[in-house]
Structure 1
Amino acid sequence: MKLIQELLEMAPGTYEKMVINHYHKWCTRHGFDDVDVQKLIANAALFAWWLEQYQKQEWKFSKRAIDFFGKADRFVLRAYHQEHVTKVDHLFSRSLLRAARKQKPITPQYN
């Protein structure tokens, strides 16, 4: 991940927000409604699977982008990174989605 952050010229916090936002969008794309999306977001096994897929795409990106580091503008590399990681949007694990949907929804606790 540190290599990706360097290639994209992103601070760790900014990079983390980008990854979490992508996961949220992925869950929104695969969820049926707000409660379903919440279950997907909260499922650790589903997130672990998704992150593995995301990191596979980042690895492919890094292998190709390393040659352009210092030569290409950071915005060009970020767009190229986006092309790679959006491939995850069309992937899903049917069994993990099913398991996540069986969870009870999270109910906020107010004091």
Structure 2
Amino acid sequence: MKKQVLQILQMDADAYYMLVMDCYLEWCASKSKNQKSLQKLLISKPLFNWWYKCLEFEERKFVYQGKAYIGKLSPELAIDFYKETISPINKLFSKPLMKKAYDS
């Protein structure tokens, strides 16, 4: 599935990794109260693993909707389409994992 995501986005694995990290940073920033709590969320491996599983679920939708557009979208439009498709992830959070991250 990652291969299809990369094809639709028209980017290599490194650029994709940076996009994912940027999305995770934005998600953590929206859930944190200050810089210290942001850092705690960012370094929580269990929280990232949970978030990434949710991202993979949303990416399945992206591939399903976007496979007809492989090679037909500009890279910028493909990224906008990706961010819009995965946007439901921004409404999700794991209260137990976030509490664990804040308490660490």
Per the normalisation by structure 2, the TM-score is: 0.91
Partner of 1:21: 22
Which of these two proteins has the greater Rg computed from alpha carbons? Answer: 1
Please, what is the CA RMSD of the aligned residues? 1.2
More helix by share: 2
Residue 52 of structure 2: aligned partner? 51
Unaligned runs of 5+ residues in structure 1 are 104-111
Q: Secondary structure at the match of 1:71?
A: coil
Q: What is the CA distance between 1:33 and its match in structure 2? A: 0.9
Structure 2 spans left out of the alignment, 5+ residues: none
Task: Give the distance between the partners of 1:39 and 1:32, measured in 2 at CA.
Answer: 11
Q: Which runs of 4+ in 1 moved over 4 A?
A: none
Q: Deviations over 1:8-46 (max 9, x none)?
A: 101111110010011011111101111111010000000
SS in 1 for 2:86: helix
| Counterpart Cα distance in 1 of 2:48 and 2:62 | 21
- State the alpha-carbon separation in 1 of the partners of residues 84 and 46 from structure 2: 25
Q: TM-score, normalised by structure 1?
A: 0.86
- Counterpart residue number, 2:32: 31
Offset of residue 70 of structure 1:
2.8
- The number of residues matched between the two structures is 103
Cα drift, residue 102 of structure 1: 0.9
